[in-house]
Chains A and B, each alone.
Chain A
Amino acid sequence: MWRGFLHLLKKDFRLMVSGKFFLLALLSLILYSCYINFVYANLDQQIYPVFVYDPQDKLPAAREYVTRLDSREALEAACADQYSVGIDFSHAVPELYMLSCGMETTDHYRMAWGEAVLHGNIDGRAERIGSDNKEMKNRREITAEFLFFELTAVGFLGLASMLFKEKQMGVIRVHGILPVCRPVFILSKLLLLLLSDLVFTLLLTVINLGAAEAVRVLADVLLQAGILSLIMALIGFLCAVRLPDFKQFSLFYLILAVFVTTPVFLAGQTGMKGDWIVYHPMYHLFEAMKGAYFSAPITKVSFYLTCFGTMILLFLLSWQTLNHEMAKEG
């Protein structure tokens, strides 16, 4: 049996190489890493800038957050972005000038901010209770999201593309008469995909979090990546065996990508989530992945038991479906 397994592994590996699977994963890795390092890690938003038109130098010099302008027109132009706050000192009584941004609370705060800058006493320091800075938080957040997206897509699509190619070549029909144990047929594919996903996870984490931070979180991240990879690969296998062609499969994939992962991303990115999201199975996998990256791994035994149970169930279903398909193929 072991010799058969090794042969199957070798065959599946060759299939993955010829399908440019590794090349595409490498391209995704480069694209994601460039985006994280050059764009997302540096994203920030500055506080409302305060523009001042002060022809008679009434405002004491060198105020923090203040930019001086030399005409009323320049002040109005600078405030046209509905974000900046303007102060005009050309009259006897200073005028606070701004364009509404459309949000009452934000406008109120901008007004208070303008007054505070005018007042001059804006000292103080809030207590910091977390351990991350903004850049590291951005890196952890987006790496977790990209990894989740990639594993959901690649595990699912990768296995399916392999299987469809085999279906086309008649490999399933041939296996029906070969003395190869059927679970081994599924296992060899799962093992290869799991290994390639783990290597992808390792590289993505080390490149984008840095070696020191990566070492700290890697054990938890690899565990979650393994769970997600196996579940998605098994779902991919099941769908690929059941659905007649790759086009129908990609239709299913499109629906999965848009309607299943989008709410999860929205909840993860903005904190906007409805109560119903707890019934979304992918949400828990996503939160577990995010938790792993933020050094707060899920410790609930029920989560791991459910994942393990799901994998067993999916494996048995795939096995049965494969048996059914092989019987159909004669």
Chain B
Amino acid sequence: MEGLKYQLKSVRRDKMCILTFLLPVVVGIVIHLLSGVNLQSISENRFGVWADHIDADTVDWLQTNGIVTQYETPDELQAAVNDPATQMIGVLQTGNTIQTFISGDELEMNHVIADTLPQIYENQAETLSITKTMIAAASDSDWLHSLLIVMTLAAAMFMGCTFNAMNIISEKEDGIEFINQVLPLTAESYIIQKTLLGFIGGTLSAIITALVCVRIEIEQVLPFLFIILLSAYISAFMGLFIGYFSDGLMAGIASIKVLMILFLAPPIFFYLTVPDGSILFRLSYLLPSSATFYGVMDLLNGQTKALFSSFMALFTHAVLWTIIYILLRKRSEQKQR
């Protein structure tokens, strides 16, 4: 306990560490403020038209299917369609029909929409005898918003690794590691002290971020807390690993950068593109952040299908990484003797 007091004292002076934990909270607040803005509008169809050369009725029809932007000249319209950052479809009117043009670098979906839009426009004149059933959306929260929240929460949970790594590397640089070797400090108490700091910070940061931007049911609180605790624990251990292998701040920062990219990008990719029964999806549990990501996403969507697998994967990771680290330290201590 005494050792932990000293660790906390050193944290208080460390602005970098405090900011590391505050950053996800700040991002959480920004997301909360953004909740009024519908982020899903990014995925709406976008049509560009040449103003004054298209009927108001056509513009109205296009507006029922997506966002319409009017351009003063054909050159401006072409430039907007060609802009690689957009998926815009150019629409020109000739008589009662419309013609479309695209840049050619759009997603397959927009190719099909552009190819078939003139025909769909003509179809509106004929009415088919069909009944239409539209089931209203289960919740009004959009998926992009949930994705941003889960990304921020995952980042908050894995922030402990940043803190622990920086803390250990700067201790190495200041020579405190050598002092530790002559102090009556056992490997176990060193690991406990160092892990606890990143663990407590990561947990607190994730809980505050969750309080700011997540509304979950009361019965989901316990599984949610469990995921946070396990993830923060694994992340704190990852920090110990980076601290163990990096011998300079620069190398430490680069390792953290690579680890954060590796922890945050693949789960999003797997979640969005890989079907959840496939082998590739199961393999993604090899990354602890994937388990966190799927678990939290499930809780946010009010489901429980991935919860058990997430718990098991996180628990296995926690045990495995602890054993590997303890073995590593024991080996290096034997070498020093």
Most buried by A among B20, B100, B107: B107
Judge if B313 is at the interface, Cβ distance under 8 Å.
no
CB of B205, distance to nearest CB on chain A (Å): 14
Given contacts A24-B251, A45-B109, A100-B134, contact A121 B140 (CB under 8 A): no
Is A61 part of the contact surface with B, judged by Cβ < 8 Å? no
For A141, give its contact among B64, B84, B136 (CB under 8 Å): B84
Nearest A-chain residue to B85, judged by Cβ: A271
CA distance A44 to B124 in the complex (A): 29
A191 within 8 A of B: no
| CB pair A93 B116 closer than 8 Å | no
CB distance from A316 to the nearest CB of B (A): 27
- Residues of B near A95 (CB, < 8 A) are 130-133
B250 in contact with A106 (CB, 8 Å): no
- 102-118 of chain A: CB within 8 A of chain B: 102-103, 105-109, 111-113, 115-116, 118
Which of A173-181, A198-206, A244-252, A307-315 contacts its partner? A244-252
- Tell me whether A128 and B134 are in contact in the complex, defined as CB-CB below 8 angstroms, given that A102-B142, A250-B253 are known contacts: no
- Which range contains the number of B residues in contact with the other chain? 35 or more
| Contact indicator A20/B251 (Cβ below 8 Å) | yes
Q: How far is the CA of A123 from the CA of B128 in the complex (A)?
A: 18
Q: Is the CB of A46 within 8 A of B265?
A: no
- Contact (Cβ within 8 A) B78 A137: no
Please give me the residue from chain A that is nearest to B122 by CB atom. Answer: A121
Highest count of chain A CB atoms <10 Å: which of B43, B81, B114, B250? B250
A318 to B: closest C-beta gap in Å: 20
Contacts of B81 in A (CB 8 A): 129-130
- Specify the chain B residue showing the minimal Cβ separation from A273: B85
Cβ contact within 8 Å between B248 and A248: no
- Known contacts A47-B112, A109-B65, A251-B15: does B253 contact A127 (CB below 8 Å)? no
Answer whether residue B108 sits at the interface, using C-beta atoms and an 8 A cutoff.
Answer: yes
**Which residue of chain B has its CB nearest to the CB of A111?**
B132
Q: How many inter-chain residue pairs (CB < 8 Å) link A and B? A: 216
Given A102-B140, A102-B142, A250-B16, A31 and B131 contact (CB-CB distance below 8 Å):
no
Asked if B83 CB lies within 8 Å of chain A CBs, one says: yes
Contact A133 B105 (CB under 8 A): yes
- Whether the Cβ atoms of B133 and A126 lie closer than 8 Å is no
Is the CB of B3 closer than 8 A to any CB of chain A?
Answer: no
Interface residue from B15, B45, B116, B128 paired with A248 (Cβ < 8 Å): B15
- Which residues of A lie under 8 Å from residue B170 when comparing CB positions? 247
Q: 0/1 per residue, B12-40, Cβ < 8 Å to A?
A: 00111001100100000000000000101
* Cross-interface CB contact of A132 among B45, B99, B105, cutoff 8 Å: B105
Asked if A270 and B42 sit within 8 Å, CB to CB, the answer is yes
Residues of A contacting B107 with CB < 8 Å?
44-45, 134
A290 CA to B83 CA, complexed, in Å: 11
Please report the total number of A residues contacting B with Cβ < 8 Å.
Answer: 81
Using known A-B contacts A101-B137, A102-B142, A116-B116, determine if residue A129 contacts B101 with beta carbons closer than 8 Å: yes
A100 nearest CB across to chain B (Å)? 4
B235 part of interface (Cβ distance < 8 Å): no
User: Closest Cβ of chain B: how far from A143's Cβ, in Å?
Assistant: 12
- Inside 8 A of B178's CB, which chain A residues have their CB? none
A24 touches B128 (CB 8 A): no
A214, CB-defined interface residue at 8 Å: no
Contact A94 B19 (CB under 8 A): no
Q: How far apart are the CA atoms of A109 and B68 in the complex, in Å?
A: 14
The verdict on A227 contacting chain B, using a C-beta distance below 8 Å, is: no
Q: Are A127 and B99 within 8 A (Cβ)? A: yes
CA distance A246 to B142 in the complex (A): 41
Closest to A293 in B: B84
Which residue of B is nearest A141, CB measured? B84
> Are B100 and A44 in contact (CB-based, < 8 A)?
no
Within B86-111, the residues touching A (CB, 8 Å) are 86, 89-90, 99-109, 111
**Distance A318 CA – B105 CA, assembled complex (angstroms):** 44
User: Does residue B279 face the partner (Cβ distance < 8 Å to A)?
Assistant: no
Given contacts A116-B119, A129-B81, 17 further A-B contacts (CB under 8 A): A27-B254, A28-B258, A47-B108, A47-B112, A95-B130, A97-B133, A106-B44, A106-B66, A119-B126, A121-B119, A122-B115, A126-B114, A129-B82, A158-B250, A247-B15, A250-B166, A258-B23
The 7 closest A-B pairs by CB, nearest first: A130-B103, A137-B105, A126-B114, A128-B104, A161-B250, A127-B101, A271-B85
